[in-house]
A = this chain, B = another copy of it.
Amino acid sequence: MYKITFQKDNGEIVEGFGTEDETILQIAQKSNVAIDAPCSGNAACGKCKVKLIEGDLESPKTRHIADEEYEQGWRLACVSKAKSDVTVGVPDIASAYKSRMKLADLSSEDEIRIFNEAKEGALEAGYTFENNMDVLEVEMDVPTLDDTMPDNERLMRKIKELTGVEFVRLPYSVIRKLALVLRGSDFHVKCVIQKTSTSVFVYDVLPAKADVVIGGLAIDIGTTSVSAVLINMQTAEILGKASSGNGQIRYGADVINRIIESMKPGGKERLQDAVIKETINPLIEEMCKGAHFPKKRIYRMSIASNTTMNHLLVGVDADPVRMEPYIPTFFKTNSIYASDLGIDVHPDAHIIFAPNIGSYVGGDITAGTFTSMIWNRPEMSIFIDLGTNGEIVFGNSDFLMSCACSAGPAFEGGDISCGMRATDGAIEAVKIDKETMEPELTIIGDPGTKPVGLCGSGLIDMIAELFVCGIISPKGKFIREGKRIRHDKYGMGSYVIAFQEDAGSIKDIEITEVDIDNFIRAKGAIFSGIRTMLNSLDLPVEIIDDVYVAGGIGSGINMRNAVNIGMLPDIPMEKFHYIGNSSLTGAYMMLASREIEKKTYELGQSMTYMELSTINTYMDEFVACCFLPHTDSYLFPTVELR
């Protein structure tokens, strides 16, 4: 057993213990030291670089460590094993991908604008924001020796009288507190109820003098990020908003790696704990604290997420999702409650799920499709969600068709050595001076925040700028020289985005040809998906009336740059709309509105799914797209070098 001392960039020191058979990554994980391992510790991604400061580490050299770096002490934690007590430095970038929680400042109009716009759109389309939750004031007769009806019957009788509904149910949580609350309030209470035509379910009983707001929680569980809003169920007002990395990230960046991890002994429980105990519950805690809202007054939840994420959340076997014939346990389920999963809200809170369409198109897409409103217009539109993988929905009020592109996690910073989530320190926009090749960076966070890495929108900008400035070739190879351009001994080029002294890191921030190549594949997967879908319907790109782009890739996306790199079709700029995290917005709307909840289920059932891999021409399309902007430049007539 050796002692491993982890020194973080911020000065924090953590001590862990492990045997010589455990990797430094494994020891870090069990010692609660965040080190990213999006490839699940297979030495494939190079994200877990740590710096050996003292001690003896058995650690092979990999392609991710340059000679010079190796000499400086850089090692991949996932292949390093201690042979003595060891001290290692853990740079910020090693934990930037799995990132901290961020609480939104709701006084900023920007944070809730997108929800209000979506709500207005739904209202215009004729949807009401009504749900069956309500607060009912109930005043009972105080019992006497001549009126000895027990508490539960006394309350139920009065609720029947007030609602006209025969069947009233008091769950255990209410039974348990009933005597105290009734006697503490002189038998004058407020009940949080859910009322249908045949039954009343009583979620809670509180003294009549209490100020009762019915809380609702909408969560978007992305493969990389988790976002949530706390709402007032009766007004649909947003009371809190927060996001954080998905704690499952340490078990792999993509859904396949997560599923594989979940199939190991105890894996389902580990993955479930990572997203619930380590991610969702702390998010709820902080968000409720920020909003001064008691978390046990959240009585209803909605969840939008891809099929794998909702299966791992629920703790069911996800292997059939990835194995032919790709059968999930559920598309839709209405039998899960907060207490089943240990989510720290009211134990009886019902969890509604945006419905999955298939193994690779999940509830995040049905929720997002509702948000995009493309189903409500006669014109043909495209909805694209750029998350981990990219999904595309095409259609109008008559039909909807969806597909999933194997874009990988690049849009959320995965598979990219300098990639990270769109959180503090992320470069979300880039401009490069053509002459000097000096970059101008926009960084998420308070003024003065130093750059740590590139998030999705920053990556699109970076590659577009390198391309239009002639710094990289259409194949993504460096073709100019300068102080920011480097080549290692194998000839692999890179561009220094920020030198160490300017970066919030203990090393330079660089983008390499391997990163650029990974990103080109990702953007190629999107465009070839769009093309294949339109081709299958014999429709030209010009038929597209509007493109709605969603995804937590930054505060926005530079559509011009997205066209310049050949990710989105070269149509007039005004046809593009960035709609933010449409999955969260959709989850919010289905939570607040029963009509929208039902419509979302309908969308899920009516949408057809196209499996791209079964289309003969898809591979050719994809190969043609792995080029900047495309091998067929006629498809991108407006793209020009600067």
Is B316 touching A175 in the complex (CB atoms < 8 A)?
Answer: yes
Does A330 make an interface contact (CB < 8 A)? yes
Q: Mark A297-324, 1 if CB is under 8 A from B, else 0.
A: 0000000000000000011110110001
Q: Please report which residues of chain A, range 147-192, place their CB below 8 angstroms from some CB of chain B when the two chains form the complex.
A: 147-153, 169-172, 175-180, 183
Q: From A330, which residue of chain B is reached at the shortest CB distance?
A: B152
Tell me if A331 and B175 are in contact (CB < 8 A): no
Residues B175 and A328 in contact, CB atoms below 8 Å apart: no
| Given A152-B329, A316-B178, A325-B148: A172 touches B336 (CB 8 Å cut-off) | yes
**Is A151 a contact partner of B335 (Cβ separation < 8 A)?**
no
Most chain-B CB neighbours within 10 Å: which of A336, A356, A358? A336
A536 at the interface (CB under 8 A from B): no
Query: Across the interface, do A143 and B325 meet the contact criterion of CB distance under 8 Å?
Result: yes
In Å, the complex CA distance between A367 and B538 comes to: 74
- Chain A residues bordering chain B, tally (CB within 8 A): 44
Contact B151–A325 (Cβ < 8 Å): no
In the bound assembly, the distance between CA atoms of A286 and B319 in angstroms comes to: 37
Q: Which residues of B contact A32 (CB under 8 A)?
A: none
Docked pose: A144 CA to B337 CA in angstroms: 31
Closest to A327 in B: B143
- Docked pose: A314 CA to B183 CA in angstroms: 18
Contact of A175 among B327, B330, B358 (CB under 8 A): B330
Check A151–B340 contact: CB distance below 8 A: no
A633 contacts the other chain (CB 8 A):
no
Query: When A314-B175, A314-B176, A327-B143 are in contact, do A152 and B320 touch as well, CB less than 8 Å?
Result: no
A145, CB-defined interface residue at 8 Å: yes
Interface presence of A399 (CB below 8 A):
no
Q: Which residues of B contact A179 (CB under 8 A)?
A: 316-317, 319-320, 329
Smallest CB-CB separation from A179: which chain B residue?
Answer: B317
| Complex Cα spacing A369 to B319, Å | 54
Q: Which residues of B contact A150 (CB under 8 A)?
A: 327-331, 356
Choose from B148, B177, B183, B329 the contact partner of A358 (Cβ within 8 Å): B148
**Which chain B positions have C-beta within 8 A of A328?**
150-151
Q: A145-B324, A316-B178, A326-B148 are in contact. Are A331 and B172 (CB under 8 A)?
A: no
Docked Cα-Cα span, A329 to B170, in Å, equals 12
> What are 18 A-B interface contacts by the 8 Å CB criterion?
A143-B325, A143-B327, A145-B325, A148-B325, A150-B329, A150-B330, A152-B329, A152-B330, A172-B335, A172-B336, A175-B336, A176-B315, A177-B316, A179-B316, A179-B319, A180-B317, A183-B317, A183-B320
- Report which A residues bind B (CB closer than 8 A): 143-145, 147-153, 169-172, 175-180, 183, 314-317, 319-320, 324-331, 333, 335-337, 339-341, 356, 358
Given A145-B324, A145-B326, A152-B330; 20 other pairs, CB 8 A cutoff: A148-B325, A148-B326, A148-B358, A150-B327, A150-B328, A150-B329, A150-B330, A150-B356, A151-B327, A151-B330, A170-B335, A172-B314, A172-B335, A175-B316, A175-B330, A175-B335, A176-B314, A177-B316, A179-B320, A180-B317
